[in-house]
Amino acid sequence: MFFQQPEGCRAQPHWEKKEKGHGRIELRRLWLYPCGKDMQAYLQEVFHWPAAQWCGWIYRRRELVAQQKAEESTHVWIAGAAFPWHLTAPWAAELLRGHWSIENRAFYVRDVTMDEDRLHGRKIGHGLSSIRNAALNLLRSLGFPYIPDARRYIAARADLGLPLLDF
């Protein structure tokens, strides 16, 4: 199968970085390969992903020093564009890292604070998501640095809920 890590990936990665900080040691390794015609056809047919040009694996190991435990994971990644582009391993690592910072900033609040994963609404999910976004924007307008603080503040001051909506 295309997404199984080949034996060659146990060899030297194309990029590697080790960082220490915040009570943990993180090691990231990346393998980068151009997508062949078979892989491009497969991704187009099965997933409707046109123009896949690059793929690979990223390995992460995070050691939590104080807790004396480690977490490891390996993920497949795919990149492409409507035009040919040359991707280097350091640039791919930077792009992947940037993706997760967006994921953590934008969706963590919705997943954890608004409990969106559990309360998704199978047939009305888009509408519920819009309502949650509006609620988050209203809560952010209160000036609290953290959404849970704003939620507790509004919950304790019920007289502020409707004025926040400008009624």
Q: What average pLDDT does the structure give for the chain?
A: 84
- The whole-number pLDDT of residue 47 equals 87
Q: What is the pLDDT of residue 124?
A: 78
pLDDT at 26: 94
pLDDT bin (cut points 50, 70, 90) of residue 1 is very low
Burial class (CB in 10 A: 0-12, 13-18, 19+), 29: buried
Give DSSP secondary structure letters for the chain. Answer: -TTSPPGGGGS--SEEEEEEETTEEEEEEEEEEEPPHHHHHHIIIII--TTEEEEEEEEEEEEETTTTEEEEEEEEEEEE-SS-----HHHHHHHHHHHHHHHHHHHHIIIIIS-TTTS--TTTHHHHHHHHHHHHHHHHTTT-SSHHHHHHHHHH-GGGHHHHTT-
pTM metric for this prediction = 0.62
6: confidence class by pLDDT, cuts 50, 70, 90 = low
